[in-house]
Amino acid sequence: MEENKPKKKEGGLLNLVFSWSAKDVLNKNLHKDKVQQIPDTFSSAADYLNSFKLPLIEETRAEFCSGLESVADAPASEISTICIDKDHKPPHDLHYKIIIKPITDIKNRGGHYQPQFGDVFAISNVRPRNIDDLVRPGKYIIFASVSMSSVSYPWIPIVPSEELSGSELHRNDEKRMFATFVMNMTTNLRIWKALHPNPRFSNTGLIENLLQYEPSGDGENHSVCDLDVNCNVWRTNVMSHIRSFRLDESQTNAVLSSISMVKCSHKANTVKLIWGPPGTGKTKTVASLLFGLLKLKCRTLTCAPTNTAVLQVAERLVKLFLGSVNEYDTYGLGDIVLFGNGERMKIDEHEELVDVFLRNRVKTLVRCFSPLDGWKINLVSMICLLENPREEYNTYLHRNAVKLEPSKTQNKKKSKETVNQSVNENEKKKKDLKKDPKTETGETTMTFEEFVKKTFRSLAEHLIYCAKNLYTHLPTSVVPLDVAKQMILLIALLKKLQNSEGPSQFSDLMMKKEQLLPILKELRVQFPRPKIKGSLSDFCLAKACLIFCTASGSIKMLSPVKMVIIDEAAQLKECESAIPLQIPGVTNAVLIGDDRQLPAMVQSKVSGDMNFGRSLFQRLATLGKKKHMLNIQYRMHPTISSFPNQKFYENSIVDASHVKLRSYTRTFLKENMYGSYTFINVSTGKENFKKGRSPRNVEEAAVVNHIIGKLYSYHCNTSMAISVGVISPYKGQVGLMNEKFGKKYAERKGNGFTVNVRSVDGFQGGEEDVIIISTVRSNGNGSVGFLSNHQRTNVALTRARYCLWIVGSGSTLENSGTVWQDLVTDAKTRGCFYDADDVAEFKDALKPALTKRSRQSLAKFDISSLDLSEARWKVVFGDNFKASLARTESIGTRKQVTEMVKKIANGWSEFNSENVVNLSSFTVELLELYKVDDQLYLAWSTDIQEEDSKYTQVIKVWSLLSAYEIPKLVKDLSNLFGRYTVNTMDRCKHKSYQGNLVVPISWPLHSVINALPLADPAECLSNQLANTSSIPLICIHIPLMAIPFISFLVQHFTSKIPKLPLLITTF
C-alpha cells in the first residue's frame, strides 16, 4: 500500500479503509484518542447509531492489521488475467475483473484462495511470506475488494484501492501477480449500512424504545389483555399446539409471554429477554415459540450471530414441525425459509433443512414452473391423455410417421386415412412388433397400449414431483389447504397406478381415469401458475411466515416482518443487532441468550475497552431489565453442574429429574478417576510459547491422547456410541491436539465414535457425552491469561453430558487467584483430584514427551558456555539453577538471566528497584532475589569459600524459580543459614566497593570461626537444600576463652569433624 496515493471519493467504509496507508493499518493507536466510551443510555436514535461508528472503524482497522500480520498463513492464488470491467469510470469508480489460478511452483502454506464477496485481498508481485513483503518500500502492493457475489465464472469483479497502471493490465508471462486473502468486510459493511439508515425507509421505532430503560414498563402484568376474549383464545390455541412438546413451567411461561407481545396491543415496541443458562433447553424453547408463532401466522425473522446457531434453531423448528404434521405431509414448509451462504452453512449435511433452504427452494420451483416441463404443461397433458388417449396416440403416430418419411412430408401432410390405417395395422401387427420392434430407421413404434402406459408413467412422474414440491415449497398463502389435499390425493392415486405392473396396468388406468380426471381438472382451475412479481427469491421471502438467517444477513430483508427473535443474543455486538431491529414493520423483539457465557469477539483492544463488544442483551440486563430465566438444566450430570451452578448462577438452576437418575451415570472406563467429574493434575507439564503466540503443553496433550485411546478401545469392545469433545482455551493447543489425534479420529467419523477438538469459543452452544479440557498453563506464578475469564470458564465447564475430565497444572491454577483456584479446591474437597504422577498409565504416556523435553533441555544450554573467567567474583552454580535454566525454552529469557549473572559477577549492584524483590516479609538473611520477568526470579547469595589458604567471598546462584516456589526456598535457606556463626554471617554480608561496583573480600583462615564444616560448594548447592529439613540443628554453648582452641580445631582438623549442622554460641 503506497503512502501517498490518490484518495477515493468519501462516503463508504470501504473507501475509508482504502484511504489508509500501511502505517495507519499497523498503528494500534490510530484511533485511540477518537474512540469514546459507548454509554449505557442514549438521547436519540441518531446518538445511538453514531456511538458505534468510530469503534467500528477502529475494529475494521484491527481486523485489517491482523490479516496483514498473519499473511504468511493466508490462502493465496495467482492472478492469470486482469482487465477493465464495463462499469469502470476513473478516477472514482474503479472496476476491474480478474481470473485466478492455483499456485503450483512455490509453497502456498495457506492453500488455494477463491475470492468471495466482501473479501479484501492484497495484489502483489510476490507471494507474501511475512508482513514485510507487504509494507517494505519498493514492493508493489495494492488492495482490492470483491464487489459482487454472483459473477460469470471464471471472472471475479473487483474494486481496487487505486487505479491499475498499464503495466499491470498488459503483463508478460514473466511478470507475475498474486492475490492473498487479508480479511472479509461483509459483516462490517452491513453494520455500517445499518448505522447510516435511509431516512425515507428507516424503521427506528423499536430502537428508540431501547435508548433508555423504563422499569415501569417491564412487568408481566396482563390485566389489560386478560379482559380481551381474543387474547384468551390465542393462549388456548397456542397451548394446544405446544402441549405435546413437554415444556417445563419456565419454558412455557417464556413462550406465552413472548407471544403475548405481538397479540396484545399494549405491548408494541417492546423487547423481552429470555435468559438461557447452559443445558436449560434454550433451543427447544425458541423452537416451541416459533412453532406457536407459525400457527398464529405471525411473520417473524429469527437470526443469530453465526451460521451454526441459525442452523441449530432452524433444524429444531423443522423437526418439531414435521413431527406434528401427519395428514398433510410436508404442506406448510413453504412458510419456513432459511437463507444464507450454503457453502459456509454446509447445508447438504443438514437433511432436515434442504427443503427450507432458499437457494434449493428457488431451484426446485423454477423446474416446477418451467413452461416446457413444469406443473402446468404436465397437468394439461395428463388430462388430454386420459380424456382422449386415442387422439394422443394418433398424434404420436403422426410425429413418428413424419420421422419415417421425411422426404414425403416435406411436400404434403400425411392424410387422416393413412393415420387410421396405420393404427389398425399396428394393432394387427402387435405380436410382430414385439418380435422385431425396430423400423427401417431404427426407431421403435409403440402399440396403443404401450404408448398410453409409457406416456402415463412419464407424466405421472413429473406430476408427482411438481405436486409434492409445490405444496412443500410454496407458502400456505399461495397454496390453500384444499388444493394441497387434492395434490396429496393425486399423488397417492398416481403412485398406486405406477406400482401396478403387467397387463393389468392399462386396464387399471382406464378404470381409475374417472377418479383422476376430476382432481386434475379441479387443480387446473384452482391452481394455475401463481403470479410472481420480481424474483422468485424475493417472492419466497415476502410470503414466508418464519425466516431464518444470520443477523448481518438480515440486511437483505426488504419486506415487513412483525417480530424479530435473536438467538445467542448475548454473543451479538449491539451495533450488529441494529440490522434486524430496523427491518420494516418490526414492532417487537425477543432476545435469547446468557450474558454469563462468552460475549462477541472484538479484535481491537481500543474498541473493546469502549464497550464495542457489549450486546444489547447485556446492556439492558445491566440497566436492570427483567430476564425471564429458564431454570431447569437437562444436560449435565449433577456432579458436573454443581460447580458452575454455584459459581456462576448462585445455585438458581435445578437439575432435571432424569439427570439425577442412576441410569444417567455413564461408566466408560473402569478406573475411579474416570468418574463423572475429575481433575487430573499434570505437574510435569510445561507451557510452550515457542510456536507462535498461543501456548501449547505437550505433556497435557499426551495425557489427553492416552485417555481418548482408552475411550476408543472401550467403544470398539462394546460398540457403544461415544461423542468426545476436547476443549482448550488456546489455539496453539487445539492445533497440537488436532495434529496428535484429532485428525486421526476425524477420519473414523461415522462409526459411532467422534472426537471434536475445538477452542472454547468454538464449543459455545455445543455438547458432547464426554468433555476433556486441557488448561495448558503451567508456570510458577499462577499466570493463566484469559483462562481467568469467568465467561470462558463457564462455557468450557458446561458442555459435557456424562463426564467432564479436566487436565491441567493444579499448582498453577491454585496460585492463579481466579475461579480456577476455586475449581481445584472444589475438586480436592470432593475427592475428584488425581495426580498423573501417581498413575502408572499416565507415567508411561508421559515418558516420550518428558524424554524429548529432557534431551532438548540438555541441548539448549551448557553452563560452561557462560564465560566468567574475567569476572571479579567467582560464581558457583547449583544443580537447581542449571536444570531450571535448561528448562527455560525462551531464548530471550535465557539471555536475560545470563546477562544478569554476568553483571552480578562483575559487581554490578545498581539494579532498578523494580527488579529487586523485597524480602522483608521473610526471616532470611543473605538471600537476594532479582526479578527476571513476570514469571521468573533469580535467587543468589554471597557465601565464603576456602581458596588459596584464605576465605574469599563467592556468589552462589541457587535457582531460577517462580513466585510460588519462593517460600519453600526461603524456608530451606533459613535452615541452612541458621547453622552459620555470627562471624560467618557478618563476613557474608560485608561489602567492599570500588566505585559503584561490589568486589569480593578475603580473610586469613584463622580469622573466621565457622561451625559448619566447609564442604565442596557444588555439593552444598545440590545437597544442602535437600538435607537441611531432615537433620536436626545441634546447638553447642562454649565459654569465650575456648574460642582459640575451637578455631585451631576447625582450621587443622576439618576433614575429621563429622559434617553435622552445628550452631556455636558463647557464654
pLDDT tens readout for residues 550-574: 999 999 999 999 999 999 999 999 9
Relative orientation angle of helices 879-887 and 840-860, to the nearest 10 degrees:
90
Burial class (CB in 10 A: 0-12, 13-18, 19+), 640: buried
5 pLDDT higher than 50: no
Confidence (pLDDT) at 718: 94
pLDDT (0 to 100) of residue 1057: 44
Radius of gyration in angstroms for the set of CA atoms belonging to the chain, rounded to a whole number:
40
CA nearest to 585, candidates 921, 206, 156, 297: 206
pLDDT digits (tens, 9 = 90+) for 401-442: 766 555 444 444 444 454 455 445 555 544 454 444 444 445
What is the spatial distance between Cα 314 and Cα 311, in angstroms, rounded to a whole number? 5
Average pLDDT, the chain: 84
What is the percent of the chain where pLDDT is above 90?
A: 53
Cell numbers 574460642 correspond to 1043
pLDDT score, position 631? 97
Reported confidence tier of residue 869, pLDDT bands at 50, 70, 90: confident
Residue 1029 has pLDDT above 60, yes or no: no
All structural domains of the chain, each given as residue ranges with its CATH number in brackets, are 13-195 (no CATH), 205-214+234-368+536-630 (3.40.50.300), 375-430+444-526 (no CATH), 635-855 (3.40.50.300), 861-1005 (3.30.2310.20)
Between 519-533, 747-761, 899-913, the lowest mean confidence (pLDDT) is in 899-913
pLDDT of residue 856: 57
Range of 384-393, 449-458, 637-646, 957-966 with top mean pLDDT: 637-646
pLDDT > 70 in the chain, percent: 82
Confidence category of residue 852, pLDDT binned at 50, 70, 90: low
- Three cell numbers at 879? 544443580
Closest CA to 621 of 40, 38, 39: 40
CA distances from 390 to 384, 429, 450 (A): 10, 17, 12
Under a CB-based contact definition with an 8 Å cutoff, are residues 771 and 805 in contact?
yes
Q: How many residues does the chain have?
A: 1067
- Quote the CA–CA distance of 126 and 175 in Å, as a whole number: 10
Helices (H), strands (E): how many in the chain? 42, 32
Tell me whether strands 654-655 and 96-101 are parallel, antiparallel or unpaired: unpaired
For residues 316 and 179, give the distance between their C-alpha atoms in angstroms, rounded to a whole number: 40
Query: Could you read off the pLDDT of 17-26 as tens digits, one per residue?
Result: 999 998 999 9
Burial class (CB in 10 A: 0-12, 13-18, 19+), 216: exposed
- 989, 911 Cβ separation under 8 angstroms: no
Residue 78 has pLDDT above 90, yes or no: yes
Report the amino acid identity of residue 413. K
How does pLDDT run across 439-451, given as a tens digit for each residue?
444 557 888 888 8
Statement: residue 66 has pLDDT above 60: yes
Q: What is the pTM of this model?
A: 0.78
**Could you tell me the pLDDT band of residue 527, with boundaries at 50, 70 and 90?**
confident
What's the pLDDT band for 990 if we cut at 50, 70, 90? Answer: confident
pLDDT tens per residue, range 103-133: 988 888 889 999 999 999 999 988 888 888 8
Q: Which residues of 657-693 are buried (b: 16+ CB within 10 A; e: fewer)?
A: eebeeeebebebbeeebbbbbbbbbbebbbbbeeeee
pLDDT per residue over 222-240, tens digit each?
555 554 556 667 677 778 7
Strands (E), 838-909: 875-877
CB contact at 8 A, 898 and 746: no
Residue 255, all three cell numbers: 413462550
Structural contact between residues 3 and 171, judged by C-beta atoms closer than 8 angstroms: no
Number of Cβ within a 10 Å radius of residue 395: 13
Q: Is 501 a residue whose pLDDT tops 90? A: no
The mean per-residue pLDDT over the stretch 139-144 comes to 87
pLDDT for 264 beyond 80: no
Cell of 503: 397387463
For residue 741, give the C-alpha cell.
Answer: 489425534
Q: What is the pLDDT of residues 754-794, one digit of tens each?
A: 999 999 998 888 999 999 999 999 987 888 888 899 999 99
Q: For 106-120, 730-744, 754-768, 836-850, which range has the lowest pLDDT when averaged over its residues?
A: 836-850
Is there a contact between 763 and 804 (Cβ–Cβ < 8 Å)? no
User: Is 90 exceeded by the pLDDT of residue 39?
Assistant: yes
**DSSP summary character for residue 742:** I
Distance CA 757, CA 763 (A): 9
